[in-house]
Amino acid sequence: MENGGSSAGKGRVGVHLCTCRGEVARHLDLDRLAAELTVDPAVAYVKIDSELCAPSGQEELQKTHREGRADRVLVGACTPNIQGLIMRSALEGAGLNKYLYEQVNLRELCAWVHADREAATDKAVRLMRAAIARALMLEALEDIELKVVPEALVIGGGVAGMQAALEIASRGFTAHIAERTGALGGRAYKLSVTFPTHNCGICCMQYCRECVLTPKVEDVMQNPRIKVHLNSEIEAMEGGFGDRRVVLKTPSGREELRVGTIVVACGSDVFDAARIQEYGFGLHKDVVTTMDLERMLEQEREIGGRFVKPSDGKSTPRTVNFIQCVGSRDRVKGNLHCSLVCCTYAIGQAREIKKLSPTTEVYVHYIDLRGPYRGFEEFCEQAKSEGVLFVRGRVAEVREKKGRLHILFEDTDLGRTVDMPTDLVVLAVGQEPARGSDGIARMLHLQLDQDRFIKDLNPNFPSEYRRGVFVAGCAEGPKGIRYSIEDAKTAAAAASDLMAAGKIKKTRAIAVVDEARCRGCGKCEEACEYQAARVVEKNGRRVSVRDEARCEGCGVCAAQCCNRAISIKHNTRPQMEALMRQLLGRKGKARGEGA
Amino acid sequence: MAGNEPSIIAFTCAWCGYPSAVLAGVNRIEYPPGVNIVRVMCTGMIEPAYIMRALEYGADGVVVVGCLMENCHYMVGNKRAQERAEMLRPLLDMMGLGAGRLRTEWINASERVRFAAAMKDFSAALKEMGPNPLGRCDDDAGGGEAGQ
| Boundary residue ending a domain (A478, A504, A530) | A504
Residue A338 has a pLDDT of 94
Partners of A101 in beta bridges: A73
Task: Residue B28: give its domain's CATH number.
Answer: 3.40.50
User: Looking at the structure, do residues A400 and A439 belong to the same domain, yes or no?
Assistant: no
Q: How long is chain A? A: 595
Question: Is A530 contained in some domain?
Answer: yes
Q: Which residues of B touch A595 (CB under 8 A)?
A: 138
Interface of A with B in 53-112 (CB under 8 A): 79, 81, 105, 107-112
Q: At what angle do helices A342-356 and A376-385 cross, to 10 degrees?
A: 30
- Which residues 539-578 of A are in CB contact (within 8 Å) with B? 552-556, 558-560, 568, 571, 573, 576-577
A452 interface with B at CB cutoff 8 Å: no
Residue A68, beta-bridge partner list: none
The answer on pLDDT for B53 being more than 90 is: yes
Q: Is residue A146 in a domain?
A: no
pLDDT of residue B137: 55
- For residue A160, being part of any structural domain is answered with yes
Q: A587 and B1: CB-CB below 8 Å?
A: yes
The rounded distance, in Å, linking the Cα atoms of A571 and A569 is 5
Prediction ipTM score: 0.91
C-beta of residue A317 within 8 angstroms of C-beta of residue A309: yes
Pairing verdict, β A268-270 and A431-433: antiparallel
Q: Are residues A442 and A548 in the same domain?
A: no
A203-227 per-position pLDDT tens digit:
444 444 445 446 788 889 999 999 9
Is the residue at A387 inside a domain? yes
- Please identify among residues 332-351 of chain A the ones whose CB lies closer than 8 Å to any CB of chain B: none
Residue-level pLDDT at A590: 43
Which residues on adjacent β-strands are paired with residue A401? A404
Domain with A529 in it: what CATH number?
Answer: 3.30.70.20
Please report, for residues A51, A346, A353, A569, B11, the alpha-carbon distance to residue A19 in angstroms, rounded to integers and kept in the order given: 7, 57, 67, 31, 26
Query: The domain that contains A287 carries what CATH number?
Result: 3.50.50.60
Q: Which chain B residues have a beta carbon less than 8 Å from that of A118?
A: 1
C-beta atoms of B22 and A79 within 8 A: yes
∠ CA A490-A550-A154 to the nearest 5 degrees?
Answer: 35
The model's pLDDT over A453-489, given as tens digits with 9 standing for 90+, comes to 998 877 788 777 678 899 999 999 999 888 999 999 9
- Residue A196 CB contacts under 8 Å (≥ 6 apart), including other chains: A373, A375, A379
The confidence band for A371, taking pLDDT boundaries of 50, 70 and 90, is confident
Tell if the CB–CB gap between B80 and A529 is shorter than 8 Å.
no
Closest Cβ–Cβ partner in B32, B45, B148 for A555: B45
Per-window interface: A 113-142 vs B, CB < 8 A: 113-116, 118-120, 122-123, 126-127, 130
Residue A367 to chain B, least CA–CA distance (Å): 30
Pick from B38, B77, B138: CB nearest A585: B138
A445 touches chain B (CB under 8 A): yes
The answer to whether residues A51 and A138 touch, using CB atoms and an 8 Å cutoff, is no
Q: Do A123 and B28 touch (CB under 8 A)?
A: no
Q: How far is A591 from chain B (nearest CA, A)?
A: 11
Mean pLDDT over A409-413 rounds to: 93
> From the CA of B70, how many Å to the nearest CA of chain A?
9
Q: Are residues A118 and A252 in the same domain?
A: no
Please give the mean pLDDT across all residues of chain A: 90
Residues A238 and A302 both lie in one domain: no
Query: Is B135 domain-assigned?
Result: no
Classify residue A526 as exposed, middle or buried by CB count within 10 Å of its CB (0-12, 13-18, 19+): exposed
Instruction: Decide the pairing of beta strands A416-422 and A101-104.
Output: unpaired
Domain count within chain A: 4
- With an 8 Å Cβ cutoff, are A113 and B54 in contact? no
pLDDT score for A197? 63
Residues A248 and A276 grouped into a single domain:
no
pTM of the full predicted structure? 0.82
Q: Is the dihedral of CA B33, B34, B40, B42 positive or negative?
A: negative
| pLDDT higher than 50, residue A305 | yes
Domain that holds residue B87: 8-129
Kindly give, in sequence order, each residue whose CB lies less than 8 Å from that of residue A253, ignoring residues fewer than 6 positions away.
Answer: none
Same domain, A426 and A277: yes
Identify from B22, B64, B119 which residue to disrupt to test chain A contact, counting A C-beta atoms within 10 A and taking the largest count: B22
Range of the domain at A28: 1-141+573-595
- What is the model's pLDDT at position A591? 43
Contacts of A533 in chain B (CB under 8 A): none
- What are the φ/ψ torsions at residue A344 (nearest 5 degrees)? -65, -50
The pLDDT value recorded for residue A462 is: 78
Higher pLDDT, A172 or B1: A172
Give which of B11, B63, B75 to mutate to test A binding, by max A Cβ within 10 Å: B75
Domain total of chain B: 1
Please give the pLDDT value at position A446.
Answer: 87
Which run of H or E residues covers position A445?
Answer: none
Is residue A262 located within the same domain as residue A276?
no
Could you tell me if residue B53 is inside a domain?
A: yes
